[in-house]
Amino acid sequence: MTDTILSVENLDVSFQSYNGLIKAVRGVTFDLKKGETLAIVGESGSGKSVTAKSIMQLLPKKTTVINNGSIVYEGNDLLTYSKKEMEKIRGSEISMVFQDPMTSLNPTMKIGKQVMEGILKHKKISKKEAFVRAKELLELVGIPNAEERMKSYPHEFSGGMRQRVIIAMALASDPSVLIADEPTTALDVTIQAQILDLMKNIQKKTGTSILIITHDLGVVVNMAKRVAVMYAGQIVETGTLEEIFYDSKHPYTWGLMQSMPKLHQDRSVPLIPIAGSPPDVSKLHDGCPFAARCPYVMKVCHNHMPDQSTISGTHSVSCWLQDERAPHVEKPELGGNNVDKSKTS
Amino acid sequence: MSDNRQEITDDLFVHEPLEEGKAEEIANPPSNFWKEATVRLLKNKGAVIGLITIIVISILAIFGPLMNEYDYREQDLLRSNLPPLAAGLEWLGLDGTNSHHTNVYEERSITNAPAWFGTDEFGRDLWTRVWKGTQISLFIALTAAFLDLMIGVIYGGISAYYGGKVDDFMQRIVEVLVGIPNLILIILFILILEPGITSIILAMVITGWVNMSRIVRGQILQLKGQEFVLASRALGASHNQLMWKHLIPNVMGPIIVTLMFTIPTAIFFEAFLSFIGLGLQPPLASLGTLIENGYQEMRYFSYKLIFPAIIISAIMISFNVLGDGLRDALDPKMRK
Amino acid sequence: MLKFILQRLGYMAITLLIIITITFFLMQLLPGTPFSNPEKLSDRQIEIMNEKYGLDKPLAIQYFTYLGNLLQGDLGISFQSQGRTVNAMIAERIGPSALIGGQGVVIGLVLGLILGIISALKHNTIFDYGSVFVAVLGMSIPSFVFAALMQYFIGVKWGLLPAALWKDYSYSIMPSLALSVLVTATVARFIRSEMLEVLGQDYVNTARAKGIKEFSVIIRHVLRNALIPVVTVLGPLAVSIMTGTLVIEKIFAVPGLGEQFTLSILVNDYSVIMGITLFYSALFIFVIFLVDILYGILDPRISIGGGKKDVR
């Protein structure tokens, strides 16, 4: 049995805005186990990045309200930590890789200095030693001529190389948890694969737990053992990779699967998009947030939030279809293998 | 969730989609750019106060000179250097006393209508002169800003729209013009044009349009590559149609904002020129000439400086605050 | 780099030539040329000047003679103050102007930086609103109005500082303060918006995610990046300082270049007006040139001559 290293419990995050309080994250609960990779999947605006940033407490303090829940790291609730205590956690215990490598590096500071900065903060070592360590890290993430490149500025690097540098910075003091917020979204497809491989290799070497935030199911398949599906600030379904891909229960997860292109699928089979667009989280009402777009929507969905039902030890879902009173709904074909070719033109 | 689970009865488990259209409505609240901008502007207290101040000052600039029996150039040496006196406003210092606390009106037994803002050394009524001066200053500023706008939009529009060599050539000219300190050109032009309203306007426009043309050019270049322009081009829209129907409406925001900042700059330049002796000649009044005059005698007759100084400051502040507010309202991304 | 500097220098030369040309021909349009004022000048002087400036020759030749003289640094002779050269007048009056201008810039930069930084760090608090309000006042109230009020209250009514004239150092304080108002306001507004923009950048979060102290994040990552673009306001500031000296020297009776300029305007001393105009223009163009080079040195993203490679 693996132990839990990070556990988020019933987390609520809201923002103050000109139009009132926006509930970006509502009652999110998940565990991250030592050495595993958990993926949080969802459309943009589903609250997945906010969840990640709230773990690091990188959300703007003045406008963010976290009024419920806990973020427990190795037995301690990070939400009760002071600013100083958080600084010690950030970058040393929990690190983060951001979405856009083009904007995530300080444009006027040399690469080497930026990598060394984190090392010097968390390790009691001399500048010289930090330099050596930074060089090693850059070599680890596959930067050629690391020593020379440390004197370069970010704009002299390609996007993929910058993301490698950012990963190197995140690894500066062997973190136990690496949060990757859409680490490949801004990169070319071929570079994406390289970065994902790099992260997997690093995990093998260091045993870091990875929390990967993405909207790309391809990334999920490539990286994760377990998956949490987020919609409108809530986790609607969690399970192992297999359970989510082959035995999912939530109509939203079905929709996600149907809209994903498959490798072996006939090109003429149309992808099925989910109708409508994600709800405006500032205007949510009581019912299930997916009700407005759900093809199986029932009367009950409009005004009542479904409970979480457990399918197996690892698989749970929040949907009224799980209620015994609900009509039986046939799950649509999700995989590319058994597609009915007669329907195609 | 505060749901009462007992409420959930079996009959709720029937398929029932949301009413047609409501789903979309929830997802995309309807929005109108100008309406939203107006709402955002009205939420900005500073900008609203600025706007109201500008309106009040404009109204006074038009009707102020007509509100008493005096004309702005009518001299009356019997009434020279009268301190301000306004019934009901004595507590504000408008009590007709001079720096020695003697009531000049009683001392000189002046019985005709009091001068609300006092009089100058020729006995001209300063209330009338101040508002007449505001009127002239605003006229100069608005005309200059309008001409800047016309020339700037046409020049910048042509330059950006046609691009290529035309743009290259036109921008070379702009680059040289930007390198010349405009104040100095303005002074030189005033020197040969003879001080007067027209020459001040002309001198300011000669350099003022450059800024506007650069803003317009930048905006159009940015918009040019966007899809809706390509789309209407593909549909066979002519150059002129494209420019007036699509490009210009889309650059309106930055133009309005630039205009809001051009007006106070023009007011400043007019006052500045008058202050160094290149402005309007008496008996004509402008805020600049009044301030210059007031400054000369501020030690003994501080009211001569105070009133035009307050008004010019109020105008400048109002336009700047309104400009800031408009910029935030028209470009929410820029909100700081 | 060298190519860029040469190119810029070329532009500077062209701009300056155009200004000289405009100035020269505008002066020709004025009633009475700078070089023919028989009441003030003796026959002998006119003879010398005709010889030196070729005034009896056609306009084109006069123009080139003037250009030639300028190239040798000769700005001509004042024709109101007998026989004095414009060069000597500028040299004599540049000191006080430079002193109050320099002090004004330094005071303004310091105050502006403080206000702007506080404003950005305490965004949307009473401190922010306060600084923004002060900055708007500083931008809006014309410098001569402000200077006049300062002179009236600080100098005349309360007698804290000398109200006018130029005797010892204390006489430079009020003019410098008056000049610094606009600088303070401009810098404060600029720094505030730059800082707010940088604070919203991803790399600030990257730095925080490394566990760096908030203070170090602000100093090392935010301030540095926010300060670099401030050099771009130096050009406009140079202009506002020049504009400022014209009126503020007049108000405080500072014997500087600006006061000479306004005096010359009043007495129609065209050659001096022309000389000071060219001097100011050259100074301004040089400042712009310096700013371009400085920006290229400070911001590694700008390869000089190649433009911005990547905008954040």
Query: 């994760």: which residue's tokens?
Result: A224
Domain harbouring B279, CATH code = 1.10.3720.10
SS3 for C309?
A: coil
Buried b or exposed e, range B123-151, using 16+ CB within 10 angstroms: bbbbbbbbbbbbbbbbebbbbbbebbbeb
Angstrom distance (rounded) from CA B27 to CA A274: 13
| B161-203 per-position pLDDT tens digit | 787 888 888 888 887 777 677 777 788 788 777 778 888 888 8
Chain B CB contacts of A297 under 8 Å are 15-18
- Closest CB to C14: pick one of B176, B182, B324: B176
Has residue B162 been placed in a domain? Answer: yes
Give percent above pLDDT 90 in chain B. Answer: 3
Q: Does B42 touch chain A (CB under 8 A)?
A: no
- Closest CB to B291: pick one of C123, C139, C145: C145
Task: Output A295 or B96, whichever has higher pLDDT.
Answer: A295
CB distance B317–C136 less than 8 Å?
A: yes
| A179-229 per-position pLDDT tens digit | 998 888 877 888 888 888 888 888 888 889 999 998 888 888 888 889 999
State mean pLDDT over B150-160: 87
Of the given ranges (A2-6, A144-148, B13-17, B191-195), which has the lowest mean pLDDT?
Answer: B13-17
| B213-246 per-position pLDDT tens digit | 888 888 777 777 666 667 766 776 676 666 666 6
pLDDT at A210: 92
What average pLDDT does chain B have?
76
* Number of CB pairs, chain A paired with chain B, less than 8 A apart: 59
Angle at Cα B320 formed by Cα B317 and Cα B321, nearest 5°?
85
Task: Output A332 or C120, whichever has higher pLDDT.
Answer: C120
Task: Output B209 or C164, whichever has higher pLDDT.
Answer: B209
| C167-197 per-position pLDDT tens digit | 777 778 888 888 888 889 989 988 998 888 8
State mean pLDDT over B306-334: 82
Query: 């003091």: which residue's tokens?
Result: A173
DSSP class of residue C30 equals S
* Beta carbons of A117 and C212 less than 8 angstroms apart: yes
pLDDT at A211: 92
pLDDT at A1: 42
pLDDT at B215: 83
Give percent above pLDDT 90 in chain C. Answer: 4
Give the distance from residue C285's alpha carbon to the nearest chain B alpha carbon, in angstroms. 6
Has residue C68 been placed in a domain? Answer: no
Q: State which residues form the domain around C146.
A: 91-266
pLDDT at C17: 86
pLDDT over 50 at B56, yes or no = yes
- Closest CB to B188: pick one of C11, C26, C148: C26
DSSP assignments along B295-325, one per residue: HHTTTT-THHHHHHHHHHHHHHHHHHHHHHH
Give the distance from residue A91's alpha carbon to the nearest chain C alpha carbon, in angstroms. 4
Query: 């408008």: which residue's tokens?
Result: B94
Query: If DSSP states are collapsed to H, E and C, what string results for chain A?
Result: CCCEEEEEEEEEEEEEECCEEEEEEEEEEEEEECCCEEEEECCCCCCHHHHHHHHHCCCCCCCEEEEEEEEEECCEEHHHCCHHHHHHHECCCEEEECCCCCCCCCCCCCHHHHHHHHHHHHCCCCHHHHHHHHHHHHHHCCCCCHHHHCCCCHHHCCHHHHHHHHHHHHCCCCCCEEEEECCCCCCCHHHHHHHHHHHHHHHHHHCCEEEEEECCHHHHHHHCCEEEEEECCEEEEEEEHHHHHHCCCCHHHHHHHHCCCCCCCCCCCCCCCCCCCCCCHHHCCCCCCCHHHCCCCEHHHHHCCCCEEECCCCCEEECHHHCCCCCCCCCCCCCCCCCCHHHCC
C255 preceded by a cis bond (ω within 30 of 0) = no
State mean pLDDT over B83-105: 66
Has residue C23 been placed in a domain? Answer: no
| B110-152 per-position pLDDT tens digit | 666 666 677 777 767 778 888 888 888 889 899 999 999 899 8
State mean pLDDT over B273-298: 81
Give the distance from residue C310's alpha carbon to the nearest chain A alpha carbon, in angstroms. 7
Q: State which residues form the domain around B49.
A: 45-81+119-334
Tell me which CATH code domain A231-344 carries.
3.40.50.300
This prediction has a pTM of: 0.79
Has residue B191 been placed in a domain? Answer: yes
CB distance C262–B175 less than 8 Å?
A: no
What is this model's ipTM? 0.80
| A104-162 per-position pLDDT tens digit | 888 888 899 999 988 888 888 888 998 998 998 898 888 888 888 898 888 888 888 88
Structure tokens at B193: 């044009």
Angstrom distance (rounded) from CA C301 to CA C225: 11
What average pLDDT does chain C have?
80
A4-33+48-92+104-179+189-214 under CATH 2.60.120.330, yes or no: no
Chain C CB contacts of A162 under 8 Å are none
The number of distinct structural domains making up chain C is 1
Chain A CB contacts of C205 under 8 Å are 53, 58, 98, 104
CB neighbours (10 Å) of residue B306?
Answer: 19
The number of distinct structural domains making up chain B is 1
pLDDT over 60 at B204, yes or no = yes
Domain harbouring C113, CATH code = 1.10.3720.10
pLDDT at B47: 86
pLDDT at B106: 66
pLDDT at C110: 92
Which band of pLDDT confidence, cut at 50, 70 and 90, is reported for residue B94? Answer: low
Which band of pLDDT confidence, cut at 50, 70 and 90, is reported for residue B105? Answer: low
Taken in order A159, A165, A169, A174, the sign of the CA dihedral is positive
pLDDT over 60 at C310, yes or no = no
pLDDT over 80 at C224, yes or no = yes
Q: Does A308 touch chain B (CB under 8 A)?
A: no
Task: Output C223 or A275, whichever has higher pLDDT.
Answer: C223
Same fold for the pair A4-33+48-92+104-179+189-214 and A231-344: yes
Which band of pLDDT confidence, cut at 50, 70 and 90, is reported for residue C247? Answer: confident
Angle at Cα C200 formed by Cα A188 and Cα A131, nearest 5°?
70
pLDDT over 60 at A100, yes or no = yes
Which residue ranges make up each domain of chain A?
A: 4-33+48-92+104-179+189-214, 231-344
State mean pLDDT over C95-121: 90
| A74-98 per-position pLDDT tens digit | 888 888 888 888 888 888 889 998 8
Within 13 Å, how many C-alpha atoms sit on residue C192's CB side?
A: 30
Has residue C154 been placed in a domain? Answer: yes
SS3 for B233?
A: helix
Contacts of A31 (CB under 8 A, 6+ apart): A4, A6, A7, A8, A38
